[in-house]
Amino acid sequence: MTWNLRIAKRAAKQLEKIPSKDQVRITAALQEMRTNPFSRDIIKLKNEPAAWRRRVGNYRIFFDVYPDEALVDVVDIMRRTTTTY
């Protein structure tokens, strides 16, 4: 099953600011999420019905999953710090 991947403007801008080496890794992770958004290092976020996060090195991809629409909605891409969560 192929999932539709929608990247919010905010997440796209954040991705542009990331160093190119990490951009490649994150872009590969996003492409992999098209085939299976539940693979690799993901965790469902508490108190959020559709929110998940995926770890890619020092960065986190925050996304919502809508199985009825086969949609993965990427809302944030952030570097992991003490204030990320």
* CA–CA gap between residue 12 and residue 42 (Å, rounded): 20
83 pLDDT tier (thresholds 50, 70, 90): low
- Sheet of 71-79, strands arranged across: 4-7, 71-79, 59-66, 51-56, 42-44
pLDDT of residue 54: 94
- Tens of pLDDT, residue by residue over 61-79, are 999 999 999 999 999 999 9
- Tens of pLDDT, residue by residue over 8-31, are 999 999 999 999 999 999 999 999
pLDDT of residue 84: 58
Domains and CATH numbers, the chain: 4-79 (3.30.2310.20)
